[in-house]
Amino acid sequence: MVGDDAEGFFLDAWQASISGRSPATVLAYGSDLRRFVAFAKARQRSSPSDITRLDLRAFLAAEANEGYARATLSRRAASLRQYFDWCRRRGLIATDPASRLTAPSGGGRLPTVIGASDLVDVLDELHATTLHDGLLDREVILRDLAVVELLYGCGLRVSELCQISIGDLDLEGGSVLVTGKGSKERRLPLHDLAIDAVRRYLVEGRDAFVKENTPADAVLLNRVGNRLGPRDVRRILDSRFDQPVHPHALRHSFATHLLDGGADLRIVQELLGHSSLETTQIYTHVSKERLAAVYRSSHPRA
């Protein structure tokens, strides 16, 4: 597991120091810090003394971009404050980079939603392009089409998309099994165009990305044969849309378009994998705002 004592961050000792708190708090704080240590090591930080306030802000910003709720980000910040205060008291750091650290602002902002017609245009163009014979980089287009169809068609988090394995797909039955937050699994329906896109990528495109060390069960691969990562997905979307698009925007759009079409809120909650209906309800505000905009632009008296 990432972040044990031998790896320089003394997380086992720190977690023991908060053992008097509730088991749920100890577990949550431990999970928060292990996520941070994984992030820090990716930035070539090997101990608490290497960490700057900029690292902490970058971590919280990355977590916000992954779509974590404001309450979760606030807890992450609290975990980091507790941990670095402990490091300071233990003499592991000279100054505390987490002093007065807070979660990123903007919790009240509504999610970005891409217009349904804009999404359909991008998807239709990709579908049509893959039908051209002798197309350069056809395998890349097949993969990118599968990425966009899965993100928007299922409302996936980018982490869920990247971890899809071949055994998770039931193309005959029209579904995909994904693992969300807290290792919770949910099986999601796939519409016919998404099934077609994934099947064609697996049959006609995936082998072009396979390298010697490629995981045998990985579905979506990058040019070096590894599973796609969040940055790979972001680059794919930026190359396919006319303006920069964050992967989570497709999840927001999925939920909003379902509600605009009359879907029940609890069904949308299940599809998104939200443990609380309150988290899903933000999309009702998005839908109301969109409906109000349509009203203002079209009603003669508005």
Residues designated catalytic: 157, 181, 248, 251, 274, 283
Give yes or no for a contact between 195 and 124, defined as CB atoms under 8 angstroms apart.
Answer: no
Angstrom distance (rounded) from CA 74 to CA 107: 10
- DSSP letter (8 states) at residue 206: G
21 three-state secondary structure: coil
Cα(256)–Cα(271) distance, integer angstroms: 12
Q: Which two tokens stand for residue 166?
A: 């071949």
The closest of 194, 160, 157, 196 to 178, measured between CA atoms, is 160
Q: Which residues of 275-288 are buried (b: 16+ CB within 10 A; e: fewer)?
A: eeeebbebbeebbe
- Judged by DSSP in three states, 170 sits in strand
What gap in Å lies between CA 291 and CA 297, rounded to an integer?
A: 10
Q: Where is 189: in which H helix or E strand?
A: strand 185-189
One-letter identity of residue 125: E
**Residue 160: both structure tokens together:** 């869920």
- 176 strand-pairing partners: 169, 188
11: three-class secondary structure by DSSP: helix
Distance CA 302, CA 300 (A): 6
Q: At what angle do helices 23-42 and 70-89 cross, to 10 degrees?
A: 80
Whole-number Å distance between alpha carbons of 157 and 146:
15
Strand partners, 170: 175
